[in-house]
């Protein structure tokens, strides 16, 4: 039996588009103000040059602060860009292949929507963590909400760490704080004037 920690850690997710003249500084400000476990580079573009430029900029910021940087979907770019791992968006389907390609030391995570079955399959295939969401109304995944009961069951029965993401509010954070290992936070804070303060406010209910 595995219990979620008293205070879940923060897993920061980048916006889908970045302004590289300003975002690395914004990210640095958040990492300096708040304890963050991991950053996910989650760009909408598939242009490898753009992705590589963003990864280079953010890797410098994250690694200088001993924070892991993973990339969404681009398994083949992890080693080339000196990143710490990959976040897969297709449930359990690619986990085994990603683990084989990247080795045991890399972080391999899987977004599994609201599917308990996908989550279990991803864990069995070698995922380091499983992400469920959204936890309220958003367009994440197919929009099917991951219910609190899924997190409750997972935290009591499964040892693989779990991330709650998508549509987080202070209320949802407070409700899920005892059932999840990480909160995947991104869209909730990047549009604010002070993302670090917005993050602190959002997480206040988990303390």
Output the average pLDDT for the chain: 95
Domain that holds residue 64: 9-206
* Residue 141 within any structural domain of the chain: yes
The predicted pLDDT at position 168 comes to 96
Q: What is the pLDDT of residue 2?
A: 47
> Residue 1 domain-assigned?
no
Q: Is the pLDDT of residue 207 over 80?
A: no
Q: Using H for helix, E for strand and C for coil, what is the string for 126-172?
A: CCCEEEECCCCCCCCCCCCCCCHHHHHHHHHHCCCCEEEECCCCHHH
The model's pTM is 0.95
With respect to residue 34, please indicate whether it lies within any of the assigned structural domains.
yes
Check residue 137 and give its pLDDT. Answer: 83
Among the listed residues 111, 104, 161, the one whose alpha carbon sits nearest the alpha carbon of residue 138: 111
Q: Tell me if 139 is assigned to some domain.
A: yes
In a domain, 19, yes or no: yes
Q: How many CA atoms lie within 13 A of 40 on its CB side?
A: 30
Confidence at residue 44, expressed as pLDDT on a 0 to 100 scale: 96
Question: Tens of pLDDT along 1-44?
Answer: 345 457 899 999 999 999 999 999 999 999 999 999 999 999 99
In a domain, 4, yes or no: no
Between the two ends of the chain, the Cα-to-Cα distance in Å is 23
Q: Is the pLDDT of residue 82 over 50?
A: yes
pLDDT at residue number 85: 98
CATH number assigned to the domain comprising residue 77: 3.20.20.70
What number is the average pLDDT over the span 48-52?
96
pLDDT of residue 1: 34
DSSP category for residue 183: E
pLDDT cut 70: percent of the chain above it = 97
Question: Looking at the 3D structure of the chain, how many domains does it have?
Answer: 1
Q: Is residue 3 part of a domain?
A: no
User: Residue 199 pLDDT > 50, yes or no?
Assistant: yes
Question: 184 - beta bridge partners?
Answer: 11, 165
Summarised one tens digit per residue, pLDDT across range 148-194 is 999 999 999 999 999 999 999 999 999 999 999 999 999 999 999 99
Q: Write down the pLDDT at residue 136.
A: 93
Whether 2 is covered by a domain: the verdict is no
């Amino acid at each position: 039996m595995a219990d979620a920690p008293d205070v879940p850690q923060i897993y920061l997710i980048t916006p889908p588009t970045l302004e590289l003249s300003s975002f690395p500084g914004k990210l640095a400000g958040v990492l300096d103000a708040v304890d963050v476990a991991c950053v996910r580079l989650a760009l909408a573009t598939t242009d490898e040059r753009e992705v590589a430029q963003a990864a280079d900029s953010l890797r410098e910021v994250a690694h200088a602060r001993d924070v892991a940087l993973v990339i969404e979907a681009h398994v083949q770019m992890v080693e080339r860009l000196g990143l710490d791992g990959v976040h897969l968006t297709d449930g359990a389907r690619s986990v085994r292949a990603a683990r084989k390609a990247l080795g045991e030391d890399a972080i391999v995570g899987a977004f599994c929507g609201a599917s308990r079955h996908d989550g279990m399959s991803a864990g069995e295939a070698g995922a380091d963590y499983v992400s469920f969401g959204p936890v309220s109304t958003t367009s994440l995944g197919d929009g099917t909400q991951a219910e609190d009961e899924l997190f409750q069951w997972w935290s009591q029965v499964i040892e693989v760490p779990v991330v709650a993401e998508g549509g987080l509010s202070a209320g949802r954070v407070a409700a899920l704080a005892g059932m999840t290992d990480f909160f995947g936070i991104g869209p909730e804070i990047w549009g604010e004037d002070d993302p670090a303060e917005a993050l602190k406010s959002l997480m206040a209910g988990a303390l």
